[in-house]
Amino acid sequence: MSSQKLGRGLDALLGEMDEAYKNEATSKDSIIELELKNIRPNPFQPRKTFSDESLQELADSIKNDGLLQPIIVTEDLDGYILIAGERRFRAHKLAKLKTIRAIVQNSDEHRMRKFALIENIQREELNPLELANAYGELIKLHDITQEELAQKIYKSRTHITNTLRLLQLSVKTQKALIDKKITAGHAKVLIGLNDKEQQLMVNSIIGQKLSVREVESMIKNLKNNKFTPSISNKKSITKLNFSNIKNKFDNLGFKVKSSQNKLTIEFEDEVHVEKLLSYLSKI
C-alpha cells in the first residue's frame, strides 16, 4: 500500500470523529447512557498526565451544566472501551457521577489507537513529549513522512521535526519538561548535549530561572569551552591533612603521595603488598 493511500486514510480518520459528533444532532438514538463502571480506558491513549485542577474545573462544569459532548466508545465482551473523551470520562468519576452519555461505534485496535492520537492532537491536550510520541505513532501507523504528516494535521514541518527531536533528550531532562520545570523552548536548545551537560543546564535553568536566550548563550560558551558552572553547582572540596598517616606509612617502609583528599600508596612488588596486608590483619 502506498504512503499516498495511507495518507488519504488519515484524512478520512480526521473526518470520522467530526462525523461521529455531528451524528449526535441528527440521530439522538445513537447516544446511550452508560454506567462508568462498565467502561475501560483506551489502552492506546497517548496522554499520560492530566491536570488535577483542569479536571476539577471540568467536573464542576459537568455537574452544573451537564455533559455537552458525549464520549465515544466501542463495545466488547466485557463492556465498553473508551475511544475518545478521556478527560470527560475522568471528570465524571471525579464528580462521583454513575453514568455518562456516549456514542457507540464499531472499532478495532488499529482505529482505537488512531482515534486516541488524533483527538489529543486536535485538542492540543498533550504535553510536548506525549505529542512527540503521538506524531511518531501516526508516522509509523500510516507509513508517511514528516512532511506528509504536517500537511494532514495542518502543522508546519519545522514544528513536527522539532517536536520529534525532544525524544532525543535524556530521561531526566524529559522528566523536567513533563514536570514543567523547564519549557519546550528550553528543551529544544538542549538537544545535542550529552546527559551530563543537559543535567548541568537543567539545574542552571531551574536554579537561576534562565530564559531560553540565556540558555542558548551558555550552551554556545559551553561548546567553546568557556562555560564555568556557578559556585552553587560545584561540590566543595576540603583539603585533608594526611601528615600523620603519611608518617605512619613512612615508618613502615611504604612510599605515599597525597593530593587534596586523595592518598596514594606505591608498591615495589608483590612482597610489598603482602607486607601491608599482614600489617592490616594485626590491627
Positions annotated as catalytic residues are 86
Half-sphere exposure of 54 (CA within 13 A, CB side): 7
Tell me how far apart the alpha carbons of residues 210 and 95 are, in angstroms, rounded to a whole number.
40
- CB distance 118 to 14 below 8 Å: yes
Tell me how far apart the alpha carbons of residues 18 and 13 are, in angstroms, rounded to a whole number.
9
- CB distance 261 to 238 below 8 Å: yes
For 193, the grid coordinates are 548535549
